Structure 1
Amino acid sequence: MVVTAERTRTTTFDAPAAITAIGREVIDDGGFQVNLSEALNRVPGISVLNRQNYAQDLQLSIRGFGSRSTFGIRGVRLIVDGIPASMPDGQGQASTIALGSAQRIEVLRGPMAQLYGNAAGGVVQVFSGTDATVPTVEAMLAAGPWEQNKVGLKFGHNGERDSVVVDAMRYATNGWRDHSQGRAHAVQRQVGACARCELDDQRGRQLLRPAAEQGSGRPDAGAVRGRSAPVAAIVKSQDASKVVNQQQLGSVYERRLTEATTLTSRLYVGYRNLYNKLSVPATAPAQASITGSGGTIDFSRSYMGAGLQLAHQIRLDGERTARLTAGIEHDRSEEDRQGYVNNGGVQGILKRDELNTVRSTDVYAQAAYDVLSSLTATAGVRSSKVKFASDDRFIRPSPPAPAPGNPDDSGGQDYSATNPVIGLTFRASPTLHLYANVGRGFETPTFTELSYRPPCGTRRRPAASRPA
């Protein structure tokens, strides 16, 4: 199986990294094909917990990275068909990954992950595709306890020079606790499409990532309990719920410039909208205080990115080669966020209004040199800059006389780091390879974590590196 441990293609056995590849047969046997945990729970070195709470997403950690995340996935990089599914601040959502169209999933652990940038304690890459050599339509119907049901439809065709796969599904469940009031506890809809075409020595991929909607998720879901177990009164009185919509479109273009040189570029744009009513009492400081952000979250986030990579191979004497790779990536997200008072499930007055922006720019280079036909040295370096900025548009009373305790909280924070990785691979025999790697990773706080850690109005450049 071909994998991409060093950002270049190699076989699983030859990859000098802790990498595990999961094929389509494992995904099919996993279950409903709704949660990433169904396929990843057997991979060593990774912990992926399905909390059965569709308002919080999975909790995923690789060798400890990401274990302290409360919402979403952080500390682990998510990539789908070469397009990042993680934001520039390192936070991502696995719920947008369409398992129905996934042909292979790769999990990369250890120092080599730092070559993928911020929050690279590990990397999870999903590749869409199909093995169908003729146009094929597949239908899926599944049902389970607690009113679980899923319907799915997939079309796929893999020709000699092009391939396409389109997947659509709807999943619903009422969960363990009776707080649906006649509605489904959680509903998820996804549509994903991936097309590849090859023209002479050129390759291109057009990727339409899933448009996902999750409704009526309960942020307070706890341990598994009986359906008749009581739900906290505040959850019902505040009508706790969450709705997410996300669309993403991306393209990856690969061109062979010469027999030894390949150029790869990527471009993507996306949009995410969230509306979340929290189970927070109206008298709690989060809603009642002058600086409280309210009990209803409403934001619209647009994001985009571009990348360029050049790979070159130099043939040396004998069977030795030198492989060089260099690239640059830039990603940006802009979030228009509001917070309102939650009055018994009804949206109240405005409590928070801000525009948050994150920009990241990364430059990387790596080289693999065959010292001997059986010994390869690998070295890489990545320089990262991540800039956070927040424009506070909620000040009471209006300037120039802000109220005591509620000043203008606009500000920003910058992080930068240059991190190396080195390694050796010894091919002792055709069936035994030994390797050792050491490196440093780069991880910044997510915007959610940073916004609640004053002071945020002073620009600084603290060290943000940590051993991998």
Structure 2
Amino acid sequence: MALNYKKIPLYLSAIICAWSIPVDAFAANQPHTLPLEIIDVTASRLPRELYNTPAAVTLVDGQREFQLQEALQLDEALQFVPGVYFQNRYNFAQNLRISIRGFGSRAPFGVRGMQLQVDNIPYTLPDGQTQVDDIELNGIDQLHVTRGAATVQYGNGAGGAINISTKNGETFKGVTLNLDIGSDDLYKLNAQAGTSNNTGSAYISASHLNFNGYREQSQVEKTTLRGKFIWNINDSKTLTVITSLMDMPTSEDPGGLTRTQVNEDRRQATFMAKRLDSGQQVEQQTLGLTLRDSSFENTQWMINLFATHRDFEQQLPFPGSSLIAYDRWFYGSSFEITQDLRANKRPIRHTSGIEIRKQEDDRQRFSVSPNAEITRQTVDELQEARSMSAFSIVDWHLNDAVILTTGVRYDDLKMSIDAHLAQSGVGSGQRNYHEWNGNLGLSYRLGLRHQWYANLATSYESPTFTEFANPQGAGFNPFLKPQDSLSRELGIRGELSDIQYDITLFATKVTDEIIPYEIDGLRFFENAGKTDRKGLELAFEWQLNEQWQWRNALTLARYQFDNFTPLSGDNVNGNRMPGLPRQQWVSQINWQYNKWRIELESSYTGRFYAENSNDTQIKQNWLFNTRASYSLSPSVSIKAGIRNLFSKDYFANVRINANANRDVSQRGYFEPAPERNLYFGLSAKF
């Protein structure tokens, strides 16, 4: 029997974890070396210092990144994270598309292939889909990005992970008002307030955005509110309550243009997008509770409860079965415990936990005529996904410099559809997946501020509900299964005087890649391919002196189909995966003196392709941005910025594999980005 490579780190992790279990718990009272600085648990679910972490993890100061920008989308905070690529910044109906080392690149909209959490509340559904439209960007404090496989920590679809921590009333005190205006009728108002005392703290951030957009049919109006309330029950227990509200009554979709349409008028929307008034309306409410306890010596535990309700309606920019509505509940709970123990006189730290999550979508779909009239209902079904998981991560300090990390996770994922209408495509059915995954990491510390690390990890990504359509008739596709990956990393990071560096080599093999294909204009999915992803990631920051700083993020990567045999018969073996450039480089010069702060930024994106066949090439581009702020007083400051300084033509989004039933020249791949655009801001603190 052939060896399943996915099981390699799982077997090794299980053996080492089991061998380390019979430790002398009483010896935990003995003094031992602990890291002086630790990453918050949101980074890897096991609190540890950065230079003891055997994985490609990037820490981002959200307040710094958003300070001089408009805070429109999450990409503003993550542009200096190598290995991460963004599209769709200006189409709020389709949402920001994020990919990490190629995971998430095949998503036609939104986020797939990675996990996202905000203040321990999961934003990724059990079926692997993620929405980011209700994140209150002005309230972000820190972001921790895991750039490689994170399934052991987070489960399904974790080719990477983004963990966001928001501000609290202990670190943010007083009241601040922020006003931004800009090109294309940009208007955004944000208010923040924070306070604290001996019993706890409170923080609230609220924003209202109104933006007409660069193109026709691209207006968005959105209001968000987020509250974070921390109650210090006693010296060892805290209860955190999170509330989040979003109302987005307008979010228009201009559709994708052909090359001919782009050349005629970059600002235009498609005819059908305007005729059908395509776009979406969304309301969402979230409540989260987190109880932390550290009353037991060398032991901390946490219980987390959350519930999210989302009411959604969207008209897609084409006639047919294109009006979508659903009422969603997403809720769950988790328990995890972290302990510091000893084995063979060496420290051991572990985090273990269990999770349960449930997704319930009451989903409707309607057919719409070219005259924007609803002709019939095509979908009426209840979609349910339930995941139950258990995981354990162990850090074993072999000596003062070397740490061995092992992790094991089991996921029980159940997905079912109860269809109330007879239809082709996805009908009633159920699928169950039982997934074991593991990771194995090694960290070698070179002094206080340098580290080598290596990491081997597996991950999986299940099909989403919309990918279960059965080409042989109604019901679930009985042959579609999750795609699996094996990820390898080798990295070094550290500090040299005024220089910080992070260099990572990665290689990922994905098998049973889920690929779309079409039959008579209908889209189905199959496990048709293998992909090979290899690359180099570099982050570099140099504090030249007190006034000048130089920042860089470079990604050199090859994403290609290794063995791809789609039912269409097209031979794409060796082709590059669409939507992913081989080169990305973002560089920024900062100057700060007295009351002034000025940034000049350049970004290079290499060429890439719009479809699997690599027929349509998207050319490389250079973009330049600049921004500045000036403090009028200790409590009042102004800012201004110019995006696309030299007014270059480029695309904010390319709709991957769109309109595959058309001739290549007639496919609506392209969503043009704005030319030179400006914004101004005022901030006042009371």
| TM-score normalised by L of structure 1 | 0.88
Map 1:103-114 to 2 at 5 A: 103-112=141-150, 114=152
For 2:145, give the aligned amino acid.
V
Shift in Å, 1:114: 3.4
Map 1:8-87 to 2 at 5 A: 8-29=46-67, 31-87=69-125
Shift in Å, 1:221: 4.8
2:429 equivalent among 398, 411, 433: 411
1:427 equivalent among 403, 420, 445: 445
Query: Does structure 1 retain, via aligned residues, the 8 Å contact 2:354–2:389?
Result: yes
Alpha-carbon distance in 2 for matches of 1:255, 1:302: 29
Residue 118 of structure 1 corresponds to which residue in structure 2? 156
Map 1:58-457 to 2 at 5 A: 58-112=96-150, 114-130=152-168, 135-159=173-197, 162-179=200-217, 185-198=219-232, 199-213=234-248, 215-218=250-253, 220-221=255-256, 229-281=267-319, 287=320, 294-315=321-342, 320-343=346-369, 344-395=371-422, 406=424, 409-451=427-469, 456-457=475-476
Query: Does structure 1 retain, via aligned residues, the 8 Å contact 2:471–2:477?
Result: no
Tell me, what secondary structure is at the counterpart of 1:43? Answer: coil
Gaps of 5+ in 2: 1-37, 488-686
Shift in Å, 1:459: 6.2
Say if 1:211 and 1:407 are closer, same or farther in 2 by CA, change over 3 A. closer
Tell me, what secondary structure is at the counterpart of 2:133? Answer: helix
Tell me, what secondary structure is at the counterpart of 1:372? Answer: coil
Shift in Å, 1:295: 2.2
Alpha-carbon distance in 1 for matches of 2:296, 2:409: 26
What CA deviation, in whole Å up to 9, does each residue of 1:25-44 have, x standing for no partner? Answer: 32333511121011111111
Q: Which shows bigger deviation, 306-315 or 109-118?
A: 109-118
What CA deviation, in whole Å up to 9, does each residue of 1:295-329 have, x standing for no partner? Answer: 211111111011011211114576x3111221110
Query: Does structure 2 retain, via aligned residues, the 8 Å contact 1:128–1:165?
Result: no
Query: Does structure 1 retain, via aligned residues, the 8 Å contact 2:468–2:477?
Result: no
Shift in Å, 1:388: 1.0
Alpha-carbon distance in 1 for matches of 2:424, 2:52: 58
Alpha-carbon distance in 1 for matches of 2:264, 2:291: 51
Larger-gyration structure (1/2) = 2
Q: How many residues align?
A: 443
Alpha-carbon distance in 2 for matches of 1:194, 1:158: 12
For 2:331, give the aligned amino acid.
M
Shift in Å, 1:216: 3.3
Tell me, what secondary structure is at the counterpart of 2:76? Answer: helix
Query: Does structure 1 retain, via aligned residues, the 8 Å contact 2:426–2:469?
Result: no
Query: Does structure 1 retain, via aligned residues, the 8 Å contact 2:186–2:211?
Result: yes
Say if 1:152 and 1:134 are closer, same or farther in 2 by CA, change over 3 A. closer
Tell me, what secondary structure is at the counterpart of 1:3? Answer: coil
Map 1:449-468 to 2 at 5 A: 449-451=467-469, 456-457=475-476, 462=481, 464-468=483-487
Shift in Å, 1:160: 5.4
Alpha-carbon distance in 1 for matches of 2:133, 2:356: 24
Say if 1:179 and 1:428 are closer, same or farther in 2 by CA, change over 3 A. closer
Say if 1:368 and 1:161 are closer, same or farther in 2 by CA, change over 3 A. farther
Say if 1:171 and 1:365 are closer, same or farther in 2 by CA, change over 3 A. same
Q: Which shows bigger deviation, 383-392 or 1-10?
A: 1-10
Residue 2 of structure 1 corresponds to which residue in structure 2? 39
For 2:52, give the aligned amino acid.
D
Alpha-carbon RMSD across the aligned residues, in angstroms, is 2.5
Query: Does structure 2 retain, via aligned residues, the 8 Å contact 1:176–1:226?
Result: no
Say if 1:136 and 1:346 are closer, same or farther in 2 by CA, change over 3 A. farther
Q: Which shows bigger deviation, 441-450 or 67-76?
A: 441-450
Shift in Å, 1:345: 3.2
Alpha-carbon distance in 1 for matches of 2:409, 2:54: 18
Shift in Å, 1:100: 1.3
Identity of aligned residues (%): 28
Say if 1:194 and 1:188 are closer, same or farther in 2 by CA, change over 3 A. same
Alpha-carbon distance in 2 for matches of 1:301, 1:47: 29
Alpha-carbon distance in 1 for matches of 2:184, 2:173: 36
What CA deviation, in whole Å up to 9, does each residue of 1:397-416 have, x standing for no partner? Answer: xxxxxxxx759921122222
Query: Does structure 2 retain, via aligned residues, the 8 Å contact 1:312–1:323?
Result: yes
For 2:394, give the aligned amino acid.
A
Alpha-carbon distance in 2 for matches of 1:360, 1:451: 21
Shift in Å, 1:462: 4.6
Say if 1:461 and 1:264 are closer, same or farther in 2 by CA, change over 3 A. farther
Query: Does structure 1 retain, via aligned residues, the 8 Å contact 2:119–2:165?
Result: yes
What CA deviation, in whole Å up to 9, does each residue of 1:368-423 have, x standing for no partner? Answer: 1111122111111001121110011012xxxxxxxxx7599211222221011011
Say if 1:51 and 1:128 are closer, same or farther in 2 by CA, change over 3 A. closer
Query: Does structure 2 retain, via aligned residues, the 8 Å contact 1:301–1:333?
Result: yes
Alpha-carbon distance in 1 for matches of 2:471, 2:222: 33
Say if 1:87 and 1:53 are closer, same or farther in 2 by CA, change over 3 A. same
Gaps of 5+ in 1: 282-286, 288-293, 396-404
